[in-house]
A and B are shown apart, each in its own frame.
Chain A
Amino acid sequence: MDLRELYQDVILDHGRHPRNHHALAAPSHMARGHNPLCGDRVTIFLRLDGARIAEASFEGRGCAISTASASLMTELVIGKMVAEANALFRIFRAQATEVDAPSVPVHLIEDAERLAPLTGVKAYPARQMRDARLARLGNGGEGRRRRCRRQDGVRR
């Protein structure tokens, strides 16, 4: 596989200049991820407005692919309903790891195409991190989702 298929312009661009690369002041949800194999540590922030994702951002950096992946994800999920974002996640996971192309509902086709450059990792098993491995990290709060308290202590 040609390197330019893995490192397409959109990945290089988001790798160098990640979007939404900051913490949220008042997130309703956050999650930390740590890949023990490469040392990447990423924190994802969400602010939900009802069932809609009002804001999404991330902190931390990894390789170009990992950074671009977090950056593109935040861009795509902002404004979506949580159910839609979950559907998009499942589609992308299948795109990036499975042999057969997943079926994509019409309203998510454009988003799935925007994520297509990241599916070059399919040819590089060492550059992927499977769910199973992440799930095994479930100690000390790493790799686990958690709800945040607002400063006034009210659960959202």
Chain B
Amino acid sequence: MISALEHHSNIVPWQMLRERGVRLVVAPVDTAGGFDLPGLERCLGPRTRLVALTHVANVTGEMLPVEAIVRLAHACGAKVLLDGCQAAPRLPVDVAALDCDFYAFSGHKCYGPTGIGALYGKRALLEAMPPWQGGGDMIITVTFDETLYQAPPHRFEAGTPDISGAVGPAAALDFMTQLDRDAIAAHERSLTGYARARLAGVAGVRLVGPEATAIGVVSFTVESVHPHDLATVLDQHALAIRAGHHCAQLLMDRLGLAATARVSFGVYNDEADVDALIAAVEAAQRIFGG
């Protein structure tokens, strides 16, 4: 089971499993694009094997009630995988306290390099899982008759690993830890709230998604300015944003939107950047309005 909030990276791999008889269920979102916990509860059943949800939604920045989700899913006997790509760079994450079974995040959202990430799994589950790829390094002994595999995590790391690729995220995570994860979360929450409040004050701007637990990203549309035109104007004001469907076409379809503009914050942003954003949005409105 996934939700309508998911990034394509948490949709497409599960669709590929359907060829092996897996049924994919999509838990609904509410009309505002918010996560719908009762809706998820209705979708859960004795045949639910895995609930794979985002921890923080990449379009709306909504933090999902993951503790409640884990409890509900475990009560049905389902395992839980959390997509932490948006959460890991913003929140202190304690996988043991969350009690999730798997947790994934990517290096490039955590100030690290692209093309690498991390997958956490509970030890007992990893020990019960076969390797997904064979090769050197993941074995204890090899004969022509049989091979004994290493214990996790090594059995899942066939071949010479991407050593240089792993050094980067390690340095990036050290950097984040030194900054203090709680301080990063407070900074991101505060900037997100400030940006939502300032954008809500601009006539013609519509914010996408619920406010309550939003952190790190703000999606919006501007009347009479297409998100891609807006992104080009903002680029001229030295503001780099993302425009488009944000690899979340399920959510965009539910909301009836082809595209939104999305600002995302990092530790280096401050309120002056938000003020510059507002000025640039108003400049775009002057070009395209009327």
Contact = CB atoms under 8 A, between A and B. Distances in A.
A155 B258 CA distance: 34
B287 A39 contact: no
A62 B232 CA distance: 14
Interface in B250-264: 252, 258-259
B175 interface: no
Contacts of B236: 3
B259 A64 contact: no
B42 to A, nearest CB: 30
B114 interface: no
Contacts of B232: 3, 6, 124, 127
A16 interface: yes
Nearest to B259: A39
A12 B287 contact: yes
B213 interface: no
Interface stretch (B25-33, B66-74, B99-107, B223-231): B223-231
A63 B221 CA distance: 12
Nearest to B243: A38
14 contacts: A3-B233, A3-B236, A38-B227, A38-B228, A38-B243, A38-B258, A39-B244, A40-B258, A62-B226, A62-B228, A63-B226, A63-B227, A64-B229, A127-B232
B224 A16 contact: yes
A132 interface: no
Interface size class of A (residues with CB under 8 A): 10 to 19
A64 B236 CA distance: 17
Chain A CB count within 10 A is highest, among B224, B228, B236, B245, for B228
Nearest to B249: A39
Chain A CB count within 10 A is highest, among B226, B227, B245, for B226
Nearest to A62: B226
Contact of B226 (A6, A64, A124): A64
B228 A15 contact: no
Given A39-B244, A62-B258, 17 more contacts: A3-B287, A6-B232, A7-B287, A12-B288, A16-B224, A38-B227, A38-B243, A38-B259, A39-B252, A39-B258, A39-B259, A62-B228, A63-B227, A65-B229, A124-B232, A127-B228, A127-B232
